[in-house]
Amino acid sequence: MTEFDVSAYLSRLGFLDPEPPSAGALRRLHIAHVECVPYETLEIQLGRVTSLDPAESARRIISGRGGYCFHLNGAFSALLQALGYQVTLHRGGTQMTAEDTPEISLNHLALTVEGLPGDPETAWFVDVGLGDGLHAPLPLRAGTYRQGPFEYGLRPSEIAPGGWSMAHDPTGSFVTMDFAPEPAAMSDFANNHEKLSTSPESGFVRTCTMQRRDKRGVDILRALTLSRVPEPGKTLLETEREWWSAVSDLFGISPAGFSAEERARLWRTVVAQHEAHLAAQAQS
């Protein structure tokens, strides 16, 4: 892994100085990350396959961007390690609907942290890459956990012995996420990352998506449709100006970070995706 600027990363999250590792400091870092760094797939929409190097992901985050699970959890794991935390990467898999077969499909990277001062026996489930998922870490113990308007379940995995399964809130974008107990490496996800970034069957390719979690809910933008979960209703962004305003104001991504051609291309793409969605609805 190449190097990145730890101080600049902390500044991006709103911290002037690092804290010694502790459960409280981990919680503050996690909350700041999901509130400041968006889950977003703009690089995929521009046809660019990004590196899985956590340092490169960290530098993109420092520049004001985000990414999806491999980038967000990869970069966050590197930051935590630089701050002295004991972090383990895990191979995971999300079940998008109740009809999907649960499996460790390698479409998700999960993290655990252990050995924290004051409570070294407690391991923590850490995940800043679930989009509309966790707001703060969860102790790795079976139970039901409430975070703001959402409720999560955590239990031993039935498909990965020794691993864990997280049940999302019924309002969430997926049903469950299981992760295996063995340590993983970023290279384990390389093939699936390329597939998710380039395959016409990939949801990341088919629909431009942005999500940003806070303590009261999550802002979600899919193509031209903006929603605030768990609040009712959706807003259609009908002009390019409205779309970029939402991208900037709600997700913190400045249009100045893209060339004029890239901005125009992204707008054409999300319009086409919305029209394809309407056509599919009309046929159903």
97-106 pLDDT per residue, tens: 988 888 999 9
Q: 218 by DSSP, 3-state: which?
A: strand
pLDDT, tens digit, 9 for 90 and up, residues 200-209 = 999 999 999 9
- Spell 81-101 as b/e; 16+ CB within 10 A means b: ebbebebbbbbbbbbeeeeee
pLDDT, tens digit, 9 for 90 and up, residues 30-65 = 999 999 999 999 999 999 989 999 999 999 999 999
Counting residues of the chain whose pLDDT is more than 70, the rounded percentage is: 100
Mean pLDDT of 222-244: 97
- Residue 239's CB is within 10 A of a number of other CB atoms, namely 10
Q: Catalogue all structural domains in the chain, each as residue range(s) with its CATH number.
A: 6-192 (3.30.2140.20), 200-283 (3.30.2140.10)
Q: Which residues pair with 126 in a beta bridge?
A: 111
Confidence (pLDDT) at 2: 72
- DSSP conformation letters of 2-53: ----HHHHHHHTT-SSPPPS-HHHHHHHHHHHHHHS-EE-HHHHTT------
- Residues 224/227/232/238 CA torsion (nearest 10 deg): -30
Confidence (pLDDT) at 284: 76
Strand 39-40 and strand 209-214: the pairing is: antiparallel
Sheet holding 209-214, edge to edge: 39-40, 209-214, 217-222, 225-229, 234-236
Confidence (pLDDT) at 31: 98
Average pLDDT of the chain?
96
